[in-house]
Amino acid sequence: MKGKAQIALSLVLLLAGGYAFADAFDLTPGLLTLGPRADAAAPYPQPTPVPAVTIPAAPAPAELEDATAAKVAALGQEFAARLAPTGQVSYEIREAATGRVLASKDAKVPRIPASNMKLVTARVALETLGPDRRFATSVAASGTTIHLIGGGDVFLAPDTAATQVPGTIARGDLSELAAAAATYAREHPGGSVSVVVDTSLFAGPEYAPTLDPVNHDYVAPITPLALNGGAVGYHYSATPALDAGNALAEQLRGAGVEVAEVRLGQAPKEAAADPLATVHSASVRELVDRMLTESDNTLAETLGHLVARERGESADFAGAARATRAVLEELGYPLEGVVISDNSGLSETNRLICALQLAILEDAVNLSDGTVGALGAGLPVAALNGTLADRLTEGAAPGMIRGKTGTLADVVSLSGVLRTRSGALLTFSILTDSHHDVSLLDVRAAEDAFLTAMAEL
C-alpha cells in the first residue's frame, strides 16, 4: 500500500509541475506567467460634447414697396396693350405673402386654359388620391388563360433595366409579371395559353368626346395600363393596352410558353382576387411631377379617371369632369364660369379663370395642407426644364420663375410663381385666347417679356 501511495503522490506532483510549466508559458490559464505584465486597461472613452448647431430659418419673402408694386401694375397694362389687338387677355399678379393684388385684368373672365388645366388636375389628384398612392398591375390565371389586369399604371416598364433609366417614372416591371405567368404555365401544362388584357377599371370612350380629332395626336387612348405612357417613338399607339399584352406574350414565348392569342377581356372575379404577381406604379407625387413638368396629356387624363373612380363616379371623361369639379367645390375654390371637359386641357370647351389658378398656387406656396405642397415641385423652371426649358432665358428670369404653360391653336397661358431680384415672391396667372393675325411665338414672347421685367424688380 505504501508503494502505491508513493506512486500516486508522484503522479500528482508531476501533473502539478506540468500545469505550472504550462501556466508559466501561457499555454493554459492561470496565475503564473513569464510574459510581461499587461498594461492597465484604458479608461472607457467619453464622448466629446459637440456644440449645438442652429439652422437659421429661411428668410421670409420680402414685401414689395408701394413704388415697386406700382411698377408691376404698369407692366401689366403694357402687356395687355401689346396683346389687345390680337386676342383676349386675362391676368392677375399677387404678392404671395399677403395676397395683395398688384395687377389685374379680367381675372374672373373664363378663358380657354389649354394645359393650364393640369394645375387643376394636379390639385385634385393630390387631394383625392394622396401623394403616396401607387397603382397595381397584376397577372392572374384561370385554366389556360393568363389575365393582365390594369390598375391605372400607364408607365409600365418592359423589363427591369427600363425601371433604372435615370429620370424615368417607370416602376412596375412587366418582366416580373411574365416570370410569374411562365411559372404558372409550366406547372399547369395544357398546351398553349391565351393572354387576355383586362381594361375594365375604366369605362367609356378612349378620347374625350369634346376633343377635336386633330388633337388625338397629342394624347394616347385612355386605358388603365400601357407601356411608356402609350408612346411608341414620337407618336402614340392606337392600342396601348394590347401593346402591353403583346409585350407580356413575347416574354412568355421567350420563356418557352406557347401563346395562342392576345385579346381584350375581363378577368373572372375569382382569378382577379388571387393574382399570381403584382407590380406597382410610381407614386401620385411622382406622376404629378411628370404631368406638370412635361405637360403629359395621357397622364393627366389617367389621373382624372382615377379620381373619378376613387369618388364613386364612372371612370370616364364625364365622371372625371364631375369628380374634378366636386373636389374643387369642396376645397372652396372660385368656380364661377369654370367649365371642365377633360383633365389635360386639350379640349377647347374647357374654361378656367385666373382667380382659380391663383388660389391653387397660393395654397401650394403657403402649404395649406400636407398634400398640396407636392404640387410646386413639378412646375417647370424657367430656362431649365420641361416646357420652360427654352423660355424665360434672359435677365433675372432663369431659375426664378416656375410655371405651368398651355398652348392650343389660338391659346397661350402661363400660371406660376416668380421671385423678384428684391426677394419678393409673386404668384401670377396669364390666360389668353382667341388670338388671330399673330404668331403664338409672339404671344409667348410678350408673356416672357412681362414676367422677365417683373423678375428684375
CATH code, 251: 3.50.80.20
C-alpha cell recorded at residue 9: 503522490
202 and 279 part of one domain: yes
- 50 confidence band (pLDDT: 50, 70, 90): confident
- Picking from 283, 315, 335, the residue at the C-terminal end of a domain is 283
Q: Is residue 309 a contact partner of residue 201, using CB atoms and an 8 Å limit?
A: yes
Place of cell 509541475: 17
**260 and 298 fall within a common domain:** no
Final residue belonging to a domain, choices 267, 283, 299: 283
Of the listed ranges 47-56, 187-196, 342-351, 433-442, the least confidently predicted one is 47-56
- Based on the fold, state whether residues 120 and 161 are members of the same structural domain: no
Looking at residues 115-134, what average pLDDT do you find? 98
Q: What is the pLDDT of residue 320?
A: 99
- Tell me the average pLDDT of the chain: 91
Task: Please count the other Cβ atoms lying within 10 Å of the Cβ belonging to residue 271.
Answer: 21
Q: Are 124 and 324 in contact (CB under 8 A)?
A: yes
Q: Is 3 a member of any domain? A: no
137-189: pLDDT as tens digits = 999 999 999 999 999 999 999 999 999 999 999 999 999 999 999 999 999 88
DSSP output for 184-224: HHHHS--S-EEEEEE-TTS-S-SS-TTS-GGGGGGSPPP-S
Q: Tell me, yes or no, whether 299 and 425 share the same domain.
A: yes
pLDDT at 385 over 80: yes
Q: What is the pLDDT of residue 19?
A: 55
**392 and 296 co-located in one domain:** yes
Q: Tens of pLDDT along 5-23?
A: 555 555 544 455 555 545 5
Tell me: do 330 and 415 sit in the same domain.
yes
How many residues comprise the chain?
A: 457
Whether residue 139 is found in the same domain as residue 184? yes
Shared domain check, 363 and 316 = yes
- Number of separate domains in the chain: 2
CB atoms inside a 10 Å sphere around CB 335: 16
CB count in 10 Å sphere of residue 105: 16
Strand boundaries in 71-116, DSSP class E: 88-95, 101-105
CB atoms within 10 A of CB 212: 14
Residue 27 lies in a domain: no
* Residue of 160, 153, 148, 144 lying closest to 276 (CA atoms): 148
Residue type, 284: V
Fill in the amino acid letter for 196. Answer: V
Per residue in 275-331, pLDDT tens?
Answer: 999 999 999 999 999 999 999 999 999 999 999 999 999 999 999 999 999 999 999
Average pLDDT over residues 354-381: 92
| Dihedral Cα 435, 440, 446, 449, nearest 10 deg | 160
Question: Are 124 and 179 part of one and the same domain?
Answer: no
Could you write out the DSSP letters of every residue in 52-63?
PPPPPPPPPPPP
Looking at 283, 302, 329, which one is the last position of a domain?
A: 283
On the question of pLDDT at 232 being above 60, the answer is: yes
Percent of the chain with pLDDT over 90: 81
- Count Cβ atoms below 10 Å from residue 314 Cβ, excluding itself: 16
116 found inside a domain: yes
Round to whole Å and give the CA distance between 276 and 264: 19
Looking at residue 373, its pLDDT comes to 85
pLDDT at 32 over 60: no
Are 270 and 401 within one domain? Answer: no
Same domain flag for 90 and 187: no
Residue 422 lies in a domain: yes
- Specify the range with the lowest mean pLDDT, choosing from 178-182, 320-324, 354-358, 433-437: 433-437
- For residues 343 and 346, what is the distance between their CA atoms, to the nearest angstrom? 8
pLDDT at res. 18: 53
Contacts of 6 (CB under 8 A, 6+ apart): none
Of 330, 305, 314, which is closest to residue 219 (Cα–Cα)? Answer: 305
HSE toward the beta carbon, residue 17, CA cutoff 13 A = 6
Q: Which CATH number belongs to the domain containing residue 432 in this structure?
A: 3.40.710.10
Residue 395 pLDDT class (50, 70, 90 cuts): very high
Is there a domain that residue 58 lies in?
Answer: no
Q: Are strands 145-149 and 136-142 parallel, antiparallel or unpaired?
A: antiparallel
DSSP 8-state code for residue 94: E
Identify the CA nearest to 341 among candidates 365, 314, 317, 357: 317
- Confidence tier at 39 by pLDDT (50, 70, 90): low
pLDDT given at position 57: 65
The CA distance from 457 to 454, in Å, is 5
Query: For residue 112, what pLDDT band results from cuts at 50, 70 and 90?
Result: very high
* DSSP category for residue 287: H
Does any domain span residue 36? Answer: no
| Rounded CA separation 202/261 (Å) | 23
Determine how many CB atoms are found less than 10 A away from the CB of residue 36.
Answer: 6
Range of the domain at 275: 134-283
Q: In sequence order, what are the residues at sequence separation of 6 or more whose Cβ sits closer than 8 angstroms to the Cβ of residue 210?
A: 317, 341, 342, 347, 348, 349
Answer whether residue 40 is part of any domain: no
Question: What's the pLDDT score for residue 374?
Answer: 87
Report the predicted TM-score, pTM, of the whole model to 2 decimal places: 0.87
In angstroms, the CA 405 to CA 4 distance is 110
C-alpha cell at 284: 401620385
> What is the mean pLDDT of the segment spanning 109-126?
98
Residue 63 has pLDDT above 80, yes or no: no
Q: Using DSSP, state whether 32 is helix, strand or coil.
A: coil
In a domain, 111, yes or no: yes
427 lies in the same domain as 340: yes
Strand-pairing partners, residue 393, are: none
Look at residue 422 and give its three-state secondary structure: coil
